[in-house]
């Protein structure tokens, strides 16, 4: 058996699992879509809760994740459909497999331990790996291409927009001066050299790596597209549950839920409503739900998670 698959149950911990199941309001015999199936932790629990008769469609852009989830979920047989595609095609995928309407849609947007610890992916500076950062090998753009070909001004904008990096200009200039940079360690060292020695728990390259990963995988654009489609595949009373791990994702989700749970969305200066917008979702939590202190202690990577959920009207 594949060594990575054998290791998976010990290292893959689904974040906020109990809270997720409650938010989805799992129904026996229900149909659910896990848009980021990863190692299959959330999917497994959803299938157990919805049995007998429950079914799940799991999507992931990473073929390795589909392989691992398939091994974990194989005992559910035909109740599971796993699709190696990006969730930006959510509605098309569900239509293709006749999997709509559904009782719940889940987005767990965090990087899995499996991806972070896969040296070939280049997501982490803990390994000296090629600067790749693609979720799928079918994608063409890599982090190496961005780092070594983008102009200083484009790199500055990318680090500011996707990394919320206040030292973006200084970092971009030093990255350009340090070219070529081919590995994660070379990039991490260049960032550290630009900003000084490491202080505190957070490595100075963390925001740079986040910005590159988001850019390589068009994460924010894909999230916007998929959120819109998720409402279309939900049946009446179906639940949309999201788990975000940084402010950029959470801001997109929060704005989307606010818009879809209100009527008129015309600008304030428009005296009479002309948008004819009707609410499609009912908010079920006004404020984000965070992991418990016990979970953060047992799984430190969960500490930045924030959950939001709503119900289809």
Give pLDDT tens digits for 177-206.
999 999 999 999 999 999 876 666 778 999
The tens digit of pLDDT for each residue in 229-265 reads 999 999 999 999 999 999 999 999 999 999 999 987 7
Query: Looking at the predicted structure, is the pLDDT value of residue 2 above 70?
Result: no
Q: What is the pLDDT of residues 251-308, one digit of tens each?
A: 999 999 999 999 877 777 777 787 777 899 999 998 999 999 999 999 988 999 999 9
Kindly report the pTM of this predicted structure: 0.91
Query: What number is the average pLDDT over the span 26-33?
Result: 98
The DSSP code for 302 is: G
Buried b (16+ CB within 10 A) or exposed e, 181-203: bebbbbbbebbbebbeeeeeeeb
Is the pLDDT confidence value at 4 over 60?
A: no
Domains, the chain, ordered by start: 3-114+219-312 (3.40.50.150), 123-217 (1.10.150.170)
* CA gyration radius, the chain: 20
Which 3-state string (H, E, C) describes 6-68?
Answer: HHHHHHCCCCCHHHHHHHHCCCCCCEEEECCCCCCHHHHHHHHHHCCCCEEEEECCCHHHHHH
């Amino acid at each position: 058996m594949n060594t990575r698959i054998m290791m998976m149950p010990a290292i893959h911990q689904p974040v906020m699992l109990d809270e997720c199941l409650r938010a989805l309001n799992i129904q026996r015999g229900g149909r659910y879509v896990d848009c980021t199936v990863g190692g299959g932790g959330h999917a497994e629990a959803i299938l157990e809760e919805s049995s007998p008769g429950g079914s799940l469609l799991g999507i992931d852009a990473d073929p390795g994740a589909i392989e691992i989830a398939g091994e974990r979920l194989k005992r559910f047989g035909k109740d599971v459909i796993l699709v190696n595609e990006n969730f930006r095609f959510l509605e098309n995928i569900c239509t293709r497999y006749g999997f709509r309407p559904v009782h719940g849609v889940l987005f767990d947007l965090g990087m899995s331990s499996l991806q972070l610890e896969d040296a070939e992916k280049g997501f982490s500076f803990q390994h000296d790996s090629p600067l790749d950062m693609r979720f799928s090998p079918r994608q063409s753009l890599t982090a190496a291409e961005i780092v070594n070909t983008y102009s200083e001004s484009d790199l500055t904008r990318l680090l500011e927009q996707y990394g919320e990096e206040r030292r973006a200009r200084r970092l971009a200039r030093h990255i350009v001066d340090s070219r070529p940079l081919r590995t994660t360690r070379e990039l991490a060292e260049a960032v550290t050299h630009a900003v000084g020695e490491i202080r505190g728990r957070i490595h100075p390259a963390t925001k740079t790596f986040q910005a590159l990963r988001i850019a390589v995988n068009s994460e924010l654009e894909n999230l916007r597209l998929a959120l819109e489609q998720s409402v279309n595949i939900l049946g009446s009373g179906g639940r949309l549950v999201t788990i975000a791990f940084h402010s950029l994702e959470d801001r997109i989700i929060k704005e989307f839920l606010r818009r879809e749970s209100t009527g008129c969305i015309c600008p304030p200066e428009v005296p009479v409503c002309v948008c004819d917008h009707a609410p499609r979702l009912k908010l079920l939590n006004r404020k984000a739900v965070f992991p418990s202190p016990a979970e953060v202690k047992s799984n430190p990577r969960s500490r930045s998670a924030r959950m939001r959920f709503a119900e289809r009207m």
